[in-house]
Chain A
Amino acid sequence: MSRLAMALAVMLLLASAGMARAEQLVSALSNGNIAITSSFDGEVLSLFGNVEPDEGKHNVSGNYDVVIVVIGPSVDRVARLKTNVLGFWMNTEQVEFNPFPTFFQVLSGNPLDKIADHQALEDLRILPDAQARVSAVPQSLHVERFGAELVRLMTARGLFGINETAVRFISPTAYVAQLPLPADISNGLFITQTYLFKDGKLLATRGDSFAINKTGFERFLFTSAHQYPLLYGLVCVLLAVGTGWLGGVVFRR
């Protein structure tokens, strides 16, 4: 066990040493902890960062490309297809995707196919379709088709998407990007993966995270429904009986 840990540590050190020779990324978020209150109707998150020159050089040459992938918490999803059976429309086929992110936005400053080749984007799971391919339950047929439809449906809801004009360089090395978060965003831990490309090559990556949490009464309801379902149900019933009784008293039915 300890030998394995040692080996891992050495590998990590080697890897980071390897990275240290090239450019590095520093990045930050405008808000690391977003609170969903009862009046929450979305928010714009700013992501910014800088390309740090490697130790030998003093200045960095331009033409960098930054791609940021923002990934929300995962749930088990299922995509279903309705077909006509004897005149009735019903769900006849389904493919499960678990775990599948509830939010997946790709931000870049140039068209993705000009930043890196398709295989590299696929391998890094930058494209939403690649994410669907990875999450699909292996035995399922039609994974490609259902995965594409799942991504389309999530895109229609504003939870998935690719924005190829979101990242803006404000100096040869400093970038800023803006990401609107929709009102019906799920809460939990969000991960932002920032990739630095130059001439189609990946130079550096960097991960950040931020949290979206319900607060106040919403949070109280959410946690009690999921953690104390019996109590939650009892409160619902008592509330109903109480309202009915009160209505009967007030209006003397």
Chain B
Amino acid sequence: MNLFYLVGIGGAVGFLSGLFGVGGGFLLTPLLIFSGVPSSVAVSSVTGQVVAASTSGALSYWRRGGIDFHLALYLILSSLIGVSGGVATFSALRAAGQLDLVISVGYLLLLGTVGTLMLSEAVRALLKRRAGLVVRERLPNQHTWMHGLPFRIRFKRSKLYISVVPVIVIGMGIGFVGSLLGVGGGFILVPALVYLLRVPGSVVVGTTLLQMVAMMAATTLLQAMQSQSVDVLLSFCLMVGGTIGAQFGASAGQYLRGDQLRFLLALLVLAIAIRFGLTLVLAPADPFSVATIGASGVI
């Protein structure tokens, strides 16, 4: 695979992730799979890129004090359990020949749901703006039933006194899905923290980024040890391209309104979901395929 092509993909996805303010794993992994990289190599090499992308973000939030370390610790520890489950499932599925199927179905469900939600939200916001209404975000300040569960802990930085059970469940779920599909999971974790746990907006992004760094670092390490499908060259090309691309994306994003951005991102996410759906439904060009059993994948 061409080095410049990889840096180019990394740059393009970095641009998009800077533009939309998302991690980029859920765009990068599909793009690599669609351009012919084996899905096992794509998933485990993108995790390295997510570490790089999240690190610079997490550092800048840390400097501004935008991280709840106490909450992040609980999320990280629980996500590590999810990660080890996810990596083990990944290896088992690959041996059984069902990894591609599960990745396609996973992306279809995940991106289909997220894309539909985002699109309907963005269209509503755009219509309201056209009608001349002032869009005001509803402040999430009420408690839900989840906060009343046992084992309550005080998270000072987030000004929360909530049960630790939903925190652990969310962390484990993100760890499992993230390591299986090669996504940082920021686009699930941020809404989950905001709407389910009522984590204030001042710390939610920073905490998510820190959690993503730790979780994806653990995934990279486990994948390198267990399936040996991490390709450091591929990963590094994506990191370099992504880091540079994100800068241009972020500055380009200032010229677009938030609801327009979300509308475009929703369309992109849905397009990828549909593409995965088509690979599941359309007859393959060749029903037979050949694979190597055991460790392989490094270029």
Binding site for B on A (CB under 8 A): 75-84, 87-91, 94, 96, 98, 146, 149-150, 152-154, 221-222, 225-226, 229-230, 232-237, 239-241, 243-248, 251, 253
Contacts and interface: CB of A to CB of B under 8 A. Distances in A.
B49 A240 contact: yes
B228 A225 contact: yes
Interface stretch (B28-36, B119-127, B217-225, B252-260): B217-225
Interface size class of B (residues with CB under 8 A): 35 or more
Contacts of B56: 244-245, 247-248, 251, 253
Contacts of A76: 292-294
Contacts of A253: 56-57, 60, 247, 250
B245 to A, nearest CB: 10
Given A77-B293, A239-B232, A240-B220, 19 more contacts: A77-B290, A80-B288, A80-B290, A84-B283, A88-B281, A89-B279, A98-B293, A225-B298, A226-B298, A233-B224, A235-B232, A236-B220, A243-B52, A244-B51, A244-B243, A247-B56, A248-B57, A248-B60, A253-B247
A226 B229 CA distance: 10
B284 A233 contact: no
B293 A88 contact: no
B93 to A, nearest CB: 11
Contact of A232 (B98, B213, B230, B236): B230
A251 B247 contact: yes
Nearest to B105: A88
Given A90-B101, A154-B290, A241 B51 contact: yes
A221 B232 contact: yes
Given A76-B292, A153-B290, A239-B48, A225 B230 contact: yes
Contacts of A221: 232-233, 298
A149 B283 CA distance: 18
Most buried by B among A81, A150, A222, A248: A248
Interface string B166-184: 0000000000000000000
B289 interface: yes
Given A89-B282, A225-B228, A233-B223, A241 B217 contact: yes
A234 B224 CA distance: 9
Nearest to B53: A244
Nearest to A145: B288
Q: Which of A77, A152, A221, A253 has the most CB of B within 10 A?
A: A253
Nearest to B250: A253
Contacts of B53: 244
A142 B257 CA distance: 59
B217 A78 contact: no
Given A83-B287, A89-B281, A239-B48, A230 B243 contact: no
Interface in B14-36: none
B48 A82 contact: no
Contacts of B54: 244
A245 B59 contact: yes
12 contacts: A75-B292, A75-B293, A91-B98, A226-B295, A230-B224, A232-B230, A236-B230, A236-B232, A237-B48, A237-B217, A239-B235, A253-B57
Nearest to A76: B293
Given A226-B228, A237-B221, A153 B97 contact: no
A229 B226 CA distance: 8
Contacts of A90: 98, 101
B134 interface: no
A230 B225 contact: yes
B288 A81 contact: yes
Nearest to B18: A253
A239 to B, nearest CB: 6
B190 to A, nearest CB: 18
B7 interface: no
Q: Top 10 nearest A-B pairs by Cβ distance? A: A244-B55, A233-B224, A248-B56, A247-B243, A240-B51, A76-B293, A244-B52, A233-B221, A240-B52, A149-B288
